[in-house]
Structure 1
Amino acid sequence: MNRSGSNDDKRASGRQGGKFRKKSYSRGNAPVKNQGSVQPGNPNLIRLNKYVANSGICSRREADIYISAGNITVNGTPVTEMGYKVKLEDEVRFEGRLLNPIKREYVLLNKPKGLSTSGRTQQGKRTALGLVSKASRAELKPVGKLGKDASGLILYTNDGEMIKRLSRPKNGLRKIFHIELDKPFRSADLKKVQEGLTVDEKVVKVQDVSFVDNAPKTQIGMEIYSSRTNIVQRIFDTLGYEIVKIDRVVYAGLTKKDLPRGHWRYLTEQELANLKMIN
């Protein structure tokens, strides 16, 4: 029997109209990076260089150098053997620092309106967390909050240290919102926001607020660094406006460029480096 034809059929099945079909990576279907943290047949063992690399301190190649130099200890004993395997419950340290082998993931989602940022899908209702559930095998959590009725950028990660640091930064995070109101925004109210509006007995400093070019006066752009809860909503409540739509288009230097609504992507190395510089 000629088996080569079956391979041709398989290749042909991946075509449509003479072209290969492009897989959709939206709504949680993006490819998952193979973490390869556990050896097949040895569910409790992992190569030491992979363990060290997964902790985030260096690459696997650099880990080999540290291992050969005796900088890595396992349960208090220096290990210099290449290919050495450890158990996940072993205590592994680099120059005295305790390492965590769970790879840190950073996922940026362009959240649709109507989805809560946390909580698993229940009773047929989708959540934003459900959209990124396939992005990592680790448990991801949102950085900060984005209201259910809001859309736009939200960051998910399993890096607890980064979540804590970005949730309460010293100088706030740069955020830009595109806002649609229930009625035209009065120029006098625009000036109040620009000069500093008092909300709950505290002045809110807004870096920039303006009408959106070539759009009705109901549409506003706002740049703000404040970390106060629901502060944008509260600004317009104070002035007697209702927010019809609110979209976070910039968050901590991250943008929606090439990221359609409902889709997610991993952060680039440069984006991650920029976030790590925020105190």
Structure 2
Amino acid sequence: MSRDESNKGKKASGRQGGNFRKNSYARGNSPIKKNTPPKQPSDPNTIRLNKYVANSGVCSRRDADIYISAGSVTVNGKPVTEMGYKVKLTDEVKFDGQLLNPVKKEYILLNKPKDFSTTIRDEKGKRHVSGLITNASKSKLLPVDKLDKEDTGLLVFTNDGDLTKKLKSPMNGLRKIYHLVLDRDLSSADLRKIQEGVMVDEKVVRVQAISYIDDAPKREVGIEIHSSRGKIVERLFEHLDYKIAKLDRVVYGGLTKKDLPRGHWRYLTQQEIINLKMIK
């Protein structure tokens, strides 16, 4: 057998056995190392224009590209049509003449547990609901309204000031349902009074529905009310000489506690956000 045939046999047996030697590059044949400049860190004070527009809530980022290319977006008074253009957070950006806010609006639903405050921390070591949604957002999200420390149930958090103002309006007709446990049985006479309307602070409080809870003592009731007057449920029962031992908000503006255990939170869906914004 010649030397060439012998070498071919060794190479073939090496491949069949699955043993491959790493290729070594002869001098002059090694890969050329490109002297590429180091990647510059992005400026944290700038943001892509399409993201700026999308964060403002006008449209999606993809649609923002279309509007930018059409010249509908101005930066500091001048139309910008360049894709990938970056703006500073201090720049004045307008869409069809309307000033935009680049802070992305976020919406969180929390099933509040007992013994967490919704007011500003005023006691050392006091547990606050904001601690329950720490990992939800980098933005500062605030609860739209309040529940007492001992109360439980649904709370909406957002940085959308316009929506907060709308939901807090006493006349918005926001639907809320509560499960209450009173300090004593609710009499049939007082149940009828509440159904007919009770005068509290010179204004009639009207409820959409109230009933005893099935298979429970008559001190447990469910009540649906569309008023956003502060502590109106508590004031209603206090007016009739009842104290609320437990209050759980189970429905808020169409949002429910379904698949949301106590102490947990979730992001609102796009449809849920639209529904809340449609409340007048």
TM-score of the superposed pair, with normalisation by structure 2: 0.82
Could you say which residue in structure 1 is the equivalent of 2:181?
180
Q: CA deviation at 1:171?
A: 3.8
Q: CA deviation at 1:154?
A: 0.9
Question: How far apart, in 1, do the equivalents of 2:171 and 2:197 lie?
Answer: 20
SS for the counterpart of 2:162 is helix
Question: How far apart, in 2, do the equivalents of 1:229 and 1:60 lie?
Answer: 39
Could you say which residue in structure 2 is the equivalent of 1:257?
258
Q: CA deviation at 1:256?
A: 0.6
1:206-245 equivalences in 2 (<5 Å): 206-245=207-246
Work out the number of aligned pairs and report it: 241
SS for the counterpart of 2:67 is helix
Q: Indicate conservation of the 8 Å contact 1:118/1:141, yes or no.
A: no
Could you say which residue in structure 1 is the equivalent of 2:194?
193
SS for the counterpart of 1:247 is strand
| Identity over aligned pairs, percent | 65
Whichever residue aligns with residue 247 of structure 1, its letter is D
Question: How far apart, in 1, do the equivalents of 2:91 and 2:161 lie?
Answer: 21
Residue 128 of structure 1 pairs with residue 134 of structure 2: no
Q: Indicate conservation of the 8 Å contact 1:177/1:222, yes or no.
A: yes
Q: CA deviation at 1:188?
A: 1.0
Q: Indicate conservation of the 8 Å contact 1:120/1:130, yes or no.
A: no
Question: How far apart, in 2, do the equivalents of 1:121 and 1:65 lie?
Answer: 49
SS for the counterpart of 1:234 is helix
Question: How far apart, in 2, do the equivalents of 1:193 and 1:40 lie?
Answer: 64
Deviations 1:180-219 (A, max 9, x none): 0111111111111111112223211011110001111110
Could you say which residue in structure 1 is the equivalent of 2:30?
none
Question: How far apart, in 2, do the equivalents of 1:158 and 1:166 lie?
Answer: 13
Instruction: Extract unaligned runs of 5+ from structure 1.
Output: 1-38
CA 91–236 in structure 1, closer or farther in 2 if over 3 Å, else same: same
Question: How far apart, in 2, do the equivalents of 1:79 and 1:117 lie?
Answer: 43
Q: CA deviation at 1:169?
A: 5.3
Question: How far apart, in 2, do the equivalents of 1:156 and 1:77 lie?
Answer: 36
Residue 97 of structure 1 pairs with residue 76 of structure 2: no
Question: How far apart, in 2, do the equivalents of 1:238 and 1:124 lie?
Answer: 34
Whichever residue aligns with residue 107 of structure 1, its letter is I
Q: Indicate conservation of the 8 Å contact 2:170/2:227, yes or no.
A: no
CA 129–121 in structure 1, closer or farther in 2 if over 3 Å, else same: farther
Whichever residue aligns with residue 131 of structure 2, its letter is G
Could you say which residue in structure 2 is the equivalent of 1:271?
272
SS for the counterpart of 1:177 is strand
Question: How far apart, in 2, do the equivalents of 1:60 and 1:80 lie?
Answer: 14
Q: Indicate conservation of the 8 Å contact 2:173/2:279, yes or no.
A: no
Deviations 1:55-99 (A, max 9, x none): 111111111101111111111111111111111111111111111
Whichever residue aligns with residue 270 of structure 1, its letter is Q
Deviations 1:30-73 (A, max 9, x none): xxxxxxxxx95322221111111111111111111011111111
Could you say which residue in structure 2 is the equivalent of 1:140?
141
Could you say which residue in structure 1 is the equivalent of 2:34?
none
Q: CA deviation at 1:136?
A: 1.2
Could you say which residue in structure 1 is the equivalent of 2:59?
58
1:70-89 equivalences in 2 (<5 Å): 70-89=71-90
Question: How far apart, in 2, do the equivalents of 1:115 and 1:262 lie?
Answer: 10
Instruction: Extract unaligned runs of 5+ from structure 2.
Output: 1-39
Aligned Cα root-mean-square deviation (Å): 1.6
Whichever residue aligns with residue 180 of structure 1, its letter is V
CA 128–65 in structure 1, closer or farther in 2 if over 3 Å, else same: same
1:5-44 equivalences in 2 (<5 Å): 40-44=41-45
Question: How far apart, in 2, do the equivalents of 1:141 and 1:259 lie?
Answer: 19
Could you say which residue in structure 1 is the equivalent of 2:165?
164
Question: How far apart, in 2, do the equivalents of 1:217 and 1:169 lie?
Answer: 30
